[in-house]
Amino acid sequence: MLRRRMGYADPSSGKDILGNRSLCFIFICAFGLVTLLQQILYGKNYIKSRFYVSSIYYPYRDINRKIHGHGYPSSFHKSLCLSARVKTSDLFERWRNLQVCRWEQNKEETSNFKMSLSRCCNAPSFLFTTKRNTPAGTKLRYEVDTSGILPITNEVFNMFQDDMPYSKSQYKKCAVVGNGGIIKNTKCGKEIDSADFVFRCNIPPINAKYSADVGTKTDLVTINPSIITERYCKYGFQKLEKWRRPFYEVLQNYENSSVVLPAFYNTRNTDVSFRVKYMLDDFDSQRGVFFFHPQYLLNVQRFWAVQGVRAKRVSSGLMLVTAALEMCEEVHLYGFWAFPMNPSGIFITHHYYDNVKPRPGFHAMPHEIFNFIHMHTRGILNVHTGQCT
């Protein structure tokens, strides 16, 4: 019955298939073919126009996903990469032109941004776990939900500081120092050291070889447990039965700076982070040891996702910048860049101390930098990419 309605003929019936119904079927097929061709043509134009618009504002959005397959032909990959490179060069040119203008803080924009951060994240109260915000008996949920919940026993509770050591806008001028190769040969060390408070990421080298560019002053430095296990595994640090001193001596380069670890990102981080605390206690160190509050980091992740930074996790640098914006009246960034070339088109190393690339797809560094540049133009923070005078 269905075949008759659609104009099909049963080959076994022996009936003539050339009739009115067949002509009607041919007409419908022709109409469908024309419609399909139009959709294909408009579809191509739609893809082109959509990519053009998105590439102006987000030139690296989904590039990694598209380049690695998902049904896109090789010709599309090539045009995608070429277009992205063109837009990046446009960004560099605009950034160079912007450097002619002297940066000035916009008090109103900065205040509004701080209020947004205060509502969502509240670093002065929840940046770290403390005895006040995480009492004994609390069931602390890990940042990665699949890791479950950690009951805060008395032993864990006693590792926490009594309260947050920082308050809102406590410091006038802060420097957040990233590890990007963009900071090499900038001679920004003195300017960085003149800040009231200096943040650093993942215990980078600050010895005489690099201090002219990056300075030495450090008030707070993050330690990613993966850095410890990878960089110091040859010393047996992961087991802690022996060879703990090499890591302790590395921390001595940062004098009396406090250290902060993401102990509650997952269970593996907890174990290594607690070992750092025990090690410093064993050496009678007076250095402050803090653990990021997992709920604070989740709130930071959600806040920046709304701004277009969608990644498995925000970088340590972005975490510190977010905290600095609440803790400091004026925030200056050094060593933050996400491209293999500086704004002048000269190739640079990934870090100022090596050229080891990050794990692909984990952070969204270009989007973080785009946000920083946008905030620079709005007078919220000052991004330094050139030489310091």
**pLDDT number for residue 211:** 97
Annotated domain spans of the chain? 2-95, 105-384
Higher pLDDT, 375 or 10: 375
Q: Tell me the average pLDDT across 289-298.
A: 97
Higher pLDDT, 301 or 31: 301
Q: Tell me the average pLDDT across 126-155.
A: 94
Count the neighbouring beta carbons within 10 Å of the beta carbon of residue 245. Answer: 12
pLDDT digits (tens, 9 = 90+) for 77-93: 444 444 444 466 677 77
| pLDDT reading at 50 higher than 50 | no
| pLDDT reading at 362 higher than 70 | no
**pLDDT number for residue 22:** 60
**Which of 94-98, 122-126, 160-164 is predicted with the least confidence, judged by mean pLDDT?**
94-98
Rg (the chain; Cα; Å): 28
Where does the pLDDT of residue 134 fall: very low under 50, low under 70, confident under 90, or very high at 90 and above? Answer: very high
Residues in the chain: 389
**pLDDT number for residue 347:** 94
**pLDDT number for residue 32:** 61
User: Tokens 């640079």 map to which residue?
Assistant: 348
| β-strands 258-261, 220-222 pairing | parallel
Where does the pLDDT of residue 126 fall: very low under 50, low under 70, confident under 90, or very high at 90 and above? Answer: very high
**pLDDT number for residue 318:** 95
Task: Please list the active-site residues.
Answer: 363
pLDDT digits (tens, 9 = 90+) for 183-239: 999 999 999 999 999 999 999 999 999 999 999 999 999 999 888 777 666 555 554
| pLDDT reading at 114 higher than 80 | yes
**CATH class of the 105-384 domain in this structure:** alpha beta
**pLDDT number for residue 212:** 98
Nearest to 211 by CA among 341, 384, 352: 352
Q: Tell me the average pLDDT across 143-160.
A: 92
List the beta bridge partners of residue 175: 198, 332
* Three-class DSSP labels, the chain: CHHHHCCCCCCCCCCCCCCHHHHHHHHHHHHHHHHHHHHHHHHHHHHHHHHHHHHHHCCCCCHHHHHCCCCCCHHHHHHHHHHHHHHHHHHHHHHHHHCCCCCCCCHHHHHHHHHHHHHHCCHHHHCECECCCCCCCCEEECCCHHHCEEECCHHHHCCCECCCCCCCCCEEEEEEECCEHHHCCCCCHHHHHCCCEEEECCCCCCCCCCHHHHCCCCCEEECCHHHHHHHCHHHCCCCCCCCCHHHHHHHHCCCCCEEEECCCCCHHHHHHHHHHHHHHHHCCCCCCEEEECHHHHHHHHHHHHHCCCCCCCCCHHHHHHHHHHHHEEEEEEECCCCCCECCCCCECCCECCCCCCCCCCCCCHHHHHHHHHHHHHCCCCEEECCCCC
pLDDT digits (tens, 9 = 90+) for 371-384: 999 999 999 999 99
**What global pTM score does this model have?**
0.76
**pLDDT number for residue 247:** 84
